[in-house]
Amino acid sequence: MDREVFMERVEKFQKILKEKEIDLAVIRTLSSFIYFTGTKWLRPSLLIPAEGEPIVIVAKGEKEYFKKKSWIEHIEEYNRVEKLMFIVTQWIRQHNVKRVGMEDSVERDSFVFFHNMFKMLNPKVELVDILADTMDLRMVKTEWEIERIRKAGAIAREAMKFAEELIKPGISETEIAGELYRFLYKKGCEEPLVYVAAYPRLHAEPLRDFKVEEGRFVSIVLGVDYEYYYVNNSRSFFVGKPEGKAKVAIEAMDKAYKLALEKTKPGASMLQIEKEIENIYKEAGLGEYYIMGYTHGTGLLIEELPMTTIIAATRRTPIRENMVMSFIHSPLMLPEGAVKWEDTVIIRSGEPEILT
């Protein structure tokens, strides 16, 4: 456990809390919990006061094991859900907390139910959305983080080669996914994500009834993790010889990918790059097939801010050195299937570092 890495993150975050006059941050999203504690935990519950040490709340019997996995020493236990909320509410009242920061997120374990219960139990406390603050800390990666993302990238490269070998007419999407999950777990991944689309779908959970056919694209999307950090890698494989629009789409995607690689630099405008990519497809007669949103951040989540694919406003986010981004995310959705080519890239002022 690299204690200093996580202590520094908390100290930076506490400085932000003080600047915004937020007394306490209540962290329930899993990725931010990992970012500050250094470990993954079911039902993550972390309190970070503007001053003082952070507090983790775990189920009774988990305390000693959690100590082995994290640097945090102040750990409270609960034996029923009511006790968990009581610990939080009691701390707020004992310390006369007026403003609490919570991430307005739909991420795993960050239930609206808990959010509403908190407001009911603490009616005089002002809630502040801190999602932009936690994500801003996470957006530019340190060398410590990049080292882990590189290792994930090495696994992803092997996995995509293996995926290509699996694609044969008659094999189902779930059969491909099952083999890939087995491959990734054996490589040491803990929570990989595999999407397979033998028919035109955007992010496709594999279906057993959809099978690979001649004359169609098969899209493979991999979220490969190493010590909680992800890369996002996508490829579309045409079964047979591509002709007509399928051939034009492959050529246009290649051109758009090279443009994104060349233009996505510190200080560049994602909105402008998006427009140039769209023009490539329009000139190729493929404008109607393009799903807008060419890039997104990658790190503790396969898809995190800036998220041009989901939140249009983030297309105006300034690109910075050592951001880790995946592009081209959004595909061309042809009748023959989705055409995707996506790599995870470390943004540099010089040549970008392609990881997948």
Three-state SS for 242? coil
pLDDT at position 108 is 65
Which whole number is the average pLDDT over 322-349? 92
Tell me, what CATH number does 76's domain have?
3.40.350.10
Instruction: Check whether residue 238 and residue 337 sit in a common domain.
Output: yes
pLDDT by residue (tens digit) across 170-209?
999 999 999 999 999 999 999 999 999 998 887 778 999 9
pLDDT tens-digit readout, 122-131:
888 899 999 9
Q: End of a domain among 137, 157, 184? A: 137
Question: Would you state the pLDDT for residue 147?
Answer: 96
What gap in Å lies between CA 263 and CA 272, rounded to an integer?
9
Per-residue pLDDT at 47 exceeds 90: yes
SS3 64: helix
CA-based torsion, 181, 187, 191, 194: positive or negative = negative
CA 184 vs CA 171, 181, 194, 227: distances in Å: 19, 5, 10, 13
Q: Quick one: 144 and 29 in the same domain?
A: no
> Are 164 and 214 part of one and the same domain?
yes
Q: From 322, 298, 300, 320, select the one nearest 308 (Cα to Cα).
A: 298
pLDDT band at 15 (very low <50, low <70, confident <90, very high): very high
| HSE-up (13 A, CA, CB side) for residue 80 | 3
Domain count, the chain: 2
129 φ/ψ angles, rounded to the nearest 5 degrees: -75, 120
Instruction: Quickly list DSSP for 80-123.
Output: SHHHHHHHHHHHHHHTT--EEEE-----TT--HHHHHHHHHH-T
173/69 Cα distance (integer angstroms): 36
**Residue 113: its pLDDT value, please?**
66
The confidence band for 257, taking pLDDT boundaries of 50, 70 and 90, is very high
Check which CATH number belongs to the domain holding 159 and give it: 3.90.230.10
Q: What is the pTM of this model?
A: 0.90
Looking at the predicted structure, is the pLDDT value of residue 329 above 90?
Answer: no
pLDDT at 290 over 70: yes
Full residue range of the structural domain in which residue 17 is found: 3-137
Phi and psi at 341, nearest 5°, equal -145, 105
SS3 letters across 181-215: HHHHHHCCCCCCEEEEECCCCCCCCCCCCCECCCC
pLDDT in tens, 55-102: 999 988 999 999 999 999 999 988 887 788 888 888 899 999 999 999
